[in-house]
Amino acid sequence: MPRKNPNADDSPERIAARAYFRQPRQLSEHPKLFSDWVLAFLLTPVIGVVVLAIWDYDVWKRFAKIVWGATGLVLIVAVVPMIVSWVASWFS
**Residues 36-68 pLDDT 10s:** 667 677 777 777 777 766 766 666 677 777 777
In terms of C-beta density within 10 A (0-12 exposed, 13-18 middle, 19 or more buried), how is residue 42 classed?
middle
**pTM of the predicted model as reported, rounded to 2 decimal places:** 0.27
Residue 41 has phi, psi (to 5 degrees) of: -65, -35
- Percent of residues, the chain, with pLDDT higher than 70: 61
The pLDDT, as a whole number, for residue 8 is 66
